[in-house]
Structure formats: structure tokens, C-alpha cells
């Protein structure tokens, strides 16, 4: 384990995280995994831990005196929650919150239920001091969070809870931490940016630079290529970091699609899309290469006769900007096989562009102007250079809970309302739609 010391410089809070090993799951292990983050504050930068391109976890502090938690940083939800030390039916965590040990804890009279695709969490909506970093010097006062009394089906989430980085529409208007930090004048602007390093799915012990989340600003000079930042509108009313998806291409072939929305989600490791559109991409690749489908994922031969570099570019057009992924970015090479890091969402008519996409593009989430900026990441194009001993393709799925950490009913209605207003097909959330509910104590 390597620990990095936190420091404060020019209004920036540098936050360290641990580096540790993690076993890559095989097809038979396919379950949602947690994501580990390290982050930053102010106009700030801070290191992120990259556990085999799979988990990113960072520190949050709650209470007086501060109690430390390692949580998932997730742009697919907006609630902050951690487990209570009194919880007898919660997933295993290293840290849980002791309300008796905090002089600033304020319970409210609302009980919150969060129903996820493969599990749920429920507890008391509360107010508390919340800080970020390894040795936090600044805190947001009166931060809403849920103190979890019970959860289920989070066995594979290697974190104490979740820090949502979505809009307040996903938390019923209660300010998420980033917006609260801005309102209290702790950060200059409600902007954060994400750089995810590529360690070759564990092939490299460390990366330079390390993964980074900056809360309060961005640093394209350090984490981006020498190119202009391309901004696209984010549909804030949906609650998600959702953008217009104009076109998809695999090589020179345009994919026939019904989807019009893509969600940029740090809580998902893969690229995920509607089954029909994903199958069309598979078909285009399969007709030119020797491939087979295993457990719903396409695996192709890329050994002696075929190189990973022979596969086509995968291109997503967001608004009027084209963003390409090379085969080394959207495939995982193991021995003489290459697996697409692309999966199906079934009948849902949206795309989720997760860590596979974010590793390729340094991403700026601008709450101030409801937009997302993309600039090519400084990551070298080496994702496909992995060699593993097992014979099975490795599937990597990381979600705060499932593919999107929180798909709320409210947000579903908002996305549908937005699409209907523009005369487009509404988003169809069929199997992964969770519910949220309040109950008076």
C-alpha cells in the first residue's frame, strides 16, 4: 500500500488515495463492482487510485471530529450516503458512521429508500459537516446525506458508501456536495473534472500521472492533449450528465439507432447501449474478423494473423463533435483474444459512456453552465497490451450499484419529458428502473 500525503497549494487541495491490488473478475463473476476514487477541492487537483482500471475510491469526512470514509465518486447519482455503525444488515465496510461520536450530527424526520437495479439502501436523511481529502481543512456545513440503516446486494461494492456528483434533480432538490461547496464559498465554481489513468488493467503497478478528480476546476494542460476543449450541452433537468447522441459509427459504417441520449458516467466501467445497436456493432466487427459471443460479449481472435490495431475505430458523435475510440481503448487484449468492453442495456434506449470513454477523454463537468467539456486524454493508447493466464475473457463492470448508480423515477420522467417536448422518442427504462421514496419517521 502506498499513501500519498495531502497538501494545499494555491487554493488547491491535493487528496491522496491508496494503491492496492484487486482480482479481475471472470465471466462467471459478473456482478456490479464498486468504484474507487481520489479527488480534489477548490481550483484543485488530487491523485486518484487506479485499481486495475476497475475501481476508483476516495475519502470523505463526516462529523465533528471528522470520521473517515472511502466512497464511490459517481456522476450517475446525487445522494451522499454511508452506513451506520448500528446497521446489522449492511454490506461489509471498513468504516461506518457513529452518530454518538459527532457533536454536529442532525437527524431529520425523513426515512429515505434508494432502490437500485440489483439492491437497495435505506436510512435516515441527516445533516452533517462534510469534508474531502486526506487531511481536510475545509468542510461544507449542513450537508444532506443518508445514514444507511439497511442495504442489500452490495457485497461487491468495495466502499463505505457513495458520493453522488449528479444534479440536484436526483436528490429531490437537496444540494449535492459540489453545489453546497459552491454555495458556501468553499470552491469558486461548481465545476469538477475527471482524469482516469490507464494502468493496463493491472499490467502496470503505477501510472504517471495518477488518476485525478478536481473539484472546483480543471487542468487541461496537465491531463489533456494540446487541443481545444469541446463542450456539449448537459440536460440538467434530467438530473444526469446526459448529452445528445447524434451518431454512432463503427469504422465507416453508421449504426442504425433509435437512441438520442448518452450519459457520461464515472460509475460504469464499460460502454453500454441498447441491445439492437450493440448487436449491430458486434455484427459489423464479426463479419470482418474471427469472433464469437460469450455471455453476451464479443470476443475476437487477435493473435498471430490479426493485430488489435486491425480493428476499426468506434465513433460517437455528441451534438456536432466526433469522439473516436481506438480498438486499444475499447478492447481488452488477453493472449490471442480481444474482448470488446461494450455491453448491452437490453431494451433501454440510451447509451452509457463509462470509464472506457473517460479514460480516452479528460472530462470537465460544468454545473455552472450545464455543459460537459472533453479534451483528448494524455493516456497512451496501450489498453490492449494485456496478457492474462486464464483462458476466459475478462468482463469488467463497475457501477456505483449497477450500470448507473441511481436511475430514479423522477429522472426517468424528466428525460422522457425532455424528449417528448422535442418530439423525440422518450427514454425507455425497463429493467433497471429503481424507485425512491420518503417515509416520515
Beta-bridge mates of residue 321: 318
Q: Output the CA angle 258-263-267, nearest 5 degrees.
A: 135
The answer to whether 256 and 385 are in contact (CB under 8 A) is no
Catalytic residue among 49, 134, 219, 265: 265
Which distant-in-sequence residues (6+ apart) come within 8 Å of 96 by Cβ? 82, 83, 84, 85, 87, 90, 160
Q: How many Å apart are CA 280 and CA 286, to the nearest integer?
A: 10
Residue 238 C-alpha cell reads as 434530467
Which distant-in-sequence residues (6+ apart) come within 8 Å of 163 by Cβ? 37, 58, 60, 71, 72, 73, 74, 80, 177
DSSP H or E stretch at residue 177? helix 177-183
Cα–Cα nearest to 26, from 398, 401, 393: 393
DSSP, collapsed to helix, strand or coil, labels residue 142 as strand
Q: How many Å apart are CA 346 and CA 62, to the nearest integer?
A: 38
Q: How many Å apart are CA 90 and CA 252, to the nearest integer?
A: 49
Alpha helices by DSSP H, 331-389: 355-360
381 as an active site residue: the answer is: no
265 as an active site residue: the answer is: yes
Catalytic residue among 49, 74, 134, 151: 74
Residue 348 C-alpha cell reads as 433501454
Cα–Cα nearest to 134, from 54, 37, 217: 37
Buried b / exposed e along 158-180 (16+ C-beta atoms within 10 A):
bbbbbbbbbbbbbbbebbbbbbb
Q: How many Å apart are CA 428 and CA 194, to the nearest integer?
A: 28
The answer to whether 365 and 242 are in contact (CB under 8 A) is no
Rg, the chain, Cα only? 21
Residues serving a catalytic function are 74, 265
Amino acid at each position: 500500500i502506498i499513501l500519498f500525503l495531502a497538501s494545499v497549494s494555491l487554493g488547491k487541495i491535493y487528496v491522496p488515495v491508496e494503491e492496492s491490488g484487486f482480482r479481475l473478475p471472470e465471466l462467471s463473476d459478473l456482478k456490479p463492482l464498486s468504484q474507487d476514487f481520489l479527488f480534489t477541492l477548490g481550483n484543485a487537483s488530487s491523485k486518484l487510485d487506479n485499481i486495475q482500471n476497475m475501481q476508483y475510491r476516495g475519502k470523505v469526512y463526516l462529523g465533528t471530529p471528522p470520521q473517515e470514509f472511502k466512497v464511490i465518486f459517481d456522476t450517475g447519482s446525487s445522494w451522499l450516503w454511508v452506513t451506520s455503525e448500528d446497521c446489522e444488515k449492511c454490506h461489509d465496510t471498513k468504516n461506518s458512521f457513529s452518530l454518538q461520536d459527532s457533536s454536529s450530527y442532525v437527524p431529520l424526520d425523513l426515512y429515505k429508500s434508494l432502490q437500485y437495479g440489483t439492491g437497495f439502501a435505506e436510512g435516515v436523511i441527516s445533516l452533517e459537516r462534510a469534508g474531502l481529502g486526506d487531511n481536510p481543512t475545509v468542510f461544507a456545513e449542513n450537508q444532506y446525506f443518508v445514514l444507511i440503516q439497511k442495504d442489500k446486494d452490495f457485497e461487491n461494492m468495495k466502499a463505505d458508501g457513495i458520493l453522488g456528483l449528479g444534479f440536484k434533480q436526483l436528490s429531490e432538490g437537496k444540494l449535492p456536495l459540489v453545489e453546497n461547496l459552491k454555495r458556501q464559498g468553499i470552491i469558486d465554481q461548481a465545476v469538477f473534472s475527471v482524469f482516469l489513468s490507464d494502468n493496463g488493467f493491472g499490467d502496470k503497478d503505477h501510472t504517471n500521472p495518477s488518476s485525478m478528480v478536481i473539484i472546483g476546476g480543471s487542468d487541461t494542460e496537465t491531463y489533456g492533449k494540446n487541443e481545444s476543449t469541446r463542450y456539449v450541452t448537459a440536460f440538467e433537468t434530467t438530473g444526469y450528465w446526459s448529452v445528445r447522441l447524434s451518431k454512432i459509427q463503427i469504422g465507416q459504417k453508421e449504426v442504425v439507432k433509435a437512441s438520442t441520449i448518452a450519459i457520461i458516467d464515472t460509475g460504469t466501467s464499460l460502454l453500454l447501449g441498447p441491445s439492437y445497436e450493440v448487436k449491430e456493432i458486434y455484427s459489423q466487427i464479426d463479419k470482418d474478423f474471427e469472433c464469437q459471443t460469450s455471455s453476451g460479449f464479443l470476443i475476437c481472435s487477435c493473435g498471430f494473423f490479426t493485430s488489435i490495431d486491425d480493428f476499426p475505430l468506434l465513433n460517437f458523435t455528441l451534438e456536432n463533435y466526433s469522439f473516436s475510440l481506438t480498438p486499444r481503448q475499447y478492447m481488452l487484449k488477453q493472449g490471442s483474444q480481444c474482448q470488446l468492453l461494450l455491453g448491452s442495456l437490453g431494451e433501454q434506449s440510451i447509451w452509457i459512456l463509462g470509464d472506457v470513454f473517460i479514460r480516452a477523454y479528460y472530462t470537465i463537468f460544468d454545473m455552472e453552465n450545464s455543459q460537459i467539456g472533453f479534451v483528448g486524454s494524455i493516456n497512451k493508447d496501450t489498453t490492449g497490451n494485456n496478457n492474462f493466464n486464464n483462458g476466459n475473457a475478462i468482463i469488467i463492470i463497475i457501477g456505483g450499484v449497477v450500470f448507473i448508480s441511481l436511475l430514479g423515477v423522477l429522472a426517468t420522467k424528466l428525460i422522457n419529458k425532455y424528449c417528448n417536448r422535442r418530439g423525440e422518442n422518450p427514454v425507455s427504462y425497463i429493467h433497471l428502473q429503481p424507485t425512491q421514496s420518503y417515509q416520515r419517521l
